[in-house]
Chains A and B, each alone.
Chain A
Amino acid sequence: AQSVTQLDSQVPVFEEAPVELRCNYSSSVSVYLFWYVQYPNQGLQLLLKYLSGSTLVKGINGFEAEFNKSQTSFHLRKPSVHISDTAEYFCAVLGGSYIPTFGRGTSLIVHP
């Protein structure tokens, strides 16, 4: 079985500051990890994914994530956030049936 834990329900940060959104996972099968973003009144959009290869994955809008097998983590980072990054962020792990298991989400709030 797979599970995802997003410890932070809300992360407030000032504009142009760096941010890290934490994600820890457990999986009994090979690990495939994703971050989705949901902007207000929109659907979930794929931000980045780790399937294999380099453990540092770059996504859209300047975000990146690092797969750490020993820590069972896949934290999302951005060196300098913008107001427009305010959104809900979901970490997910792909299950044996290729259906993602999601975390509960982290609300990133960027203040001017």
Chain B
Amino acid sequence: EPEVTQTPSHQVTQMGQEVILRCVPISNHLYFYWYRQILGQKVEFLVSFYNNEISEKSEIFDDQFSVERPDGSNFTLKIRSTKLEDSAMYFCASTFLAGGPSSYNEQFFGPGTRLTVL
């Protein structure tokens, strides 16, 4: 069964360093998402991506964040200069279509990358 994969499973970095979190969405999916979950808090939407551009982003997704689909399979989230408060679990998700509820297409989630900023 196809699945979304994420690497690494755990990333430890020093404050101020750049990190790149990688995701491989399901191969025929067209819409891609990043979410994060700070320990003990809600899963929060960061950004959605379609046709090689951002389609929507939350207020969390500031200039420190960027996303890219560098090739036909990977979808990456870059944090340019990490802060302590960026420590969280980051989930990637993908879906074939992003329609309304009557044709709601389930988002398939990866297992997450735990980012720890020291």
**A residues engaging B (CB < 8 A)?**
4, 9, 30, 32, 36, 38, 41-46, 49, 51-52, 90, 92, 94, 97-105
Contact = CB atoms under 8 A, between A and B. Distances in A.
B43 A90 contact: yes
22 contacts: A4-B42, A30-B101, A32-B104, A36-B109, A43-B91, A43-B112, A44-B93, A46-B106, A49-B104, A51-B102, A51-B104, A94-B104, A99-B33, A99-B45, A99-B48, A100-B107, A101-B45, A103-B42, A104-B40, A104-B41, A104-B42, A105-B37
Contact of A98 (B3, B93, B98): B98
Interface string B80-99: 00000000000101000011
B56 A43 contact: no
B101 A51 contact: yes
Nearest to A50: B101
Contact-residue size bin, chain B (C-beta under 8 Å from the other chain): 20 to 34
B27 to A, nearest CB: 16
A99 B49 CA distance: 12
A96 B56 CA distance: 12
A105 B56 contact: no
B109 A98 contact: no
Nearest to A95: B45
A21 B35 CA distance: 23
Contact of A45 (B9, B35, B109): B109
Interface in B1-19: 3-4, 9
Given A43-B93, A92-B43, A104-B43, 20 more contacts: A9-B40, A32-B104, A36-B109, A42-B111, A43-B3, A43-B91, A43-B110, A44-B109, A46-B106, A51-B104, A90-B43, A94-B101, A98-B99, A98-B104, A99-B48, A101-B45, A103-B42, A104-B40, A105-B37, A105-B43
